[in-house]
Amino acid sequence: MTPAIGETAPTFELPDTEGDRHSLNGGGEAAAATVLVFTCNHCPYALAWHDRLLDVGRDYASRGVRMLLVNSNDAERYPRDSYDAMRARVRDDGGWPVPYLRDEDQQVAHAYAARVTPDVFVIAADGAIVYRGAPDADHGDPGLAAGWLRDALDDVLAGRALGRAETRPVGCTIKWRQ
Amino acid sequence: MAAVTQPRVELLYWDGCPSHPQALVDLRAAMADAGLDPDAVEVREVDTEHGAADERFVGSPTVRVDGADVDPPPEAEPAGLTCRVYRLRDGRFSPVPDPAVLREALTDAMRRSAL
């Protein structure tokens, strides 16, 4: 069952491509908001939105926003989503500004009822899910700049009710283990 | 002048990827632009790994004109049920082929048939 907007986000701890473990609460100073993105290596929708999402991670880091990218796909059937392939991708890009986490047993994707890649969640400082959906309206238009996600962050950082709390995530289905 | 015959145009898709409706719209528009019958496109679903291997289907959507992939994948690309990643001419990633690539594949096929 999908956690609803306003409900507490499921906690987790996952390794990034360097082997460092990351939890939702960060284990230290609380983030002003956390962006959790289910994504992957092999999906054209995830790739099309990738740079826009990283730009959000860079642009909002100074405002206390933390971004975590999570790959939950079954690597047996989709080897391009293996942990090794994730590490190679980050290395080949010269590093990413946000951690790329491996959800090997898919428990985090199940906990969030993630459906596709990318599937974006925004979690407020109190742990409540305040946005779920797509980064913006069109994977094919980089000019949209993940505007729906930015709007959600601007609202939550300003302490406002979100103007758009939920949109339809668009992308490749999460590749569940069989 | 030799008569131009309608090339065989196929769209192969896997339902687990949401891109094929857009690919069909783009393909039919390219066929209409080329003076071809847009309804002549053969649309086939590939829904098993076995079927993907038989069809040499490397991802959804795949568009073939007279049997040739409009955007040939690398030789080693494995067959399978997955979403296919395309690169548009401007370098962007896309779940569907560049419409310009579709138009060129169709006009090339028509040119060959007229020889």
Instruction: Provide ipTM, 2 decimals.
Output: 0.88
Name the strand (E) or helix (H) holding A59: helix A44-61
Q: What is the pLDDT of residue B76?
A: 86
- The reported pLDDT for the residue numbered B75 is 87
Nearest to A131 by CA among A56, A23, A50, A21: A56
The per-residue pLDDT for A3 is 87
Question: Over the stretch A9-32, which tens digit does the pLDDT of each residue have?
Answer: 999 999 999 999 999 987 667 799
Query: Is residue A72 a contact partner of residue A15, using CB atoms and an 8 Å limit?
Result: no
pLDDT of residue A74: 96
How many structural domains comprise chain A? 1
- The whole-number pLDDT of residue B3 equals 64
Q: How many contacts (CB atoms, under 8 Å) link A and B?
A: 37
- Given a contact cutoff of 8 angstroms between Cβ atoms, the answer to whether B93 and B85 are in contact is yes
Cβ distance B93 to A170 less than 8 Å, yes or no, reads no
**Residue B41 above 80 pLDDT?**
yes
Predicted local distance difference test score (pLDDT) of residue A4: 94
* Model pLDDT, residue A117: 98
**Residue with structure tokens 């939702």?**
A24
Residue carrying the six token digits 């995530």: A169
Q: What is the CATH number of the domain that holds A168?
A: 3.40.30.10
What single DSSP character describes residue B61? S
Using the predicted structure, report yes or no on whether residue B2 has a pLDDT greater than 60.
no
Q: What pLDDT, in 10s, does the model give residues A93-109?
A: 999 999 999 999 999 99
Whether A5 contacts A167, CB under 8 Å: no
Question: Both tokens of residue A120?
Answer: 């974006």
Which phi and psi angles does B8 have, rounded to 5°? -80, 120
**C-alpha angle with apex A48: B91 to A45, nearest 5 degrees?**
135
**Does the pLDDT of residue B23 top 90, yes or no?**
yes
CA–CA gap between residue B49 and residue A81 (Å, rounded) = 18
CB-based contact A110:A73 (threshold 8 Å): no
Residues of chain A contacting B97 with CB distance shorter than 8 Å: none
**Domain spans, chain B:** 9-114
pTM of the model: 0.93
Compute CA A69 distance to the chain's CA centroid, rounded to the nearest angstrom: 4
For residue A65, give the H/E element and its range: strand A65-71
Neighbours of B13 (CB within 10 A): 24
- Please give the sequence-ordered ranges of beta strands (E in DSSP) within chain B, or none if there are none: 9-13, 42-45, 62-65, 68-69, 86-87, 93-94
A89 touches chain B (CB under 8 A): no
User: Quick one: pLDDT band at residue A115, thresholds 50, 70, 90?
Assistant: very high
Render pLDDT for A38-84 as a digit per residue (tens, 0 to 9).
999 999 999 999 999 999 999 999 999 999 999 999 999 899 999 99
Q: How far apart are CA A21 and CA A175, in angstroms?
A: 23
- Say what the pLDDT of residue B113 is: 79
Residue A75 lies in a domain: yes
- Mean pLDDT value across residues A115-127: 97
Q: Distance from CA of residue B54 to its chain's centroid?
A: 17
Dihedral pair phi/psi, residue A109, rounded to 5°:
-60, -40
Residues from chain B contacting residue A44 (CB–CB below 8 Å):
19, 83-86, 93-95
Q: Do A44 and B93 touch (CB under 8 A)?
A: yes
Decide if A45 is inside a domain.
yes
The mean of the pLDDT values for chain A is: 96
Which residues, in sequence order, are bridge partners of residue A68? A36
Please report the pLDDT score of residue B35 as a whole number.
Answer: 93
Full residue range of the structural domain in which residue A61 is found: 30-173
Which three-class secondary structure state does DSSP give residue A9?
Answer: coil
pLDDT per residue as tens digits for the range B48-106: 999 999 999 999 999 999 999 999 998 889 999 999 999 999 999 999 999 999 999 99
CB-based contact, A170 to chain B, within 8 Å: yes
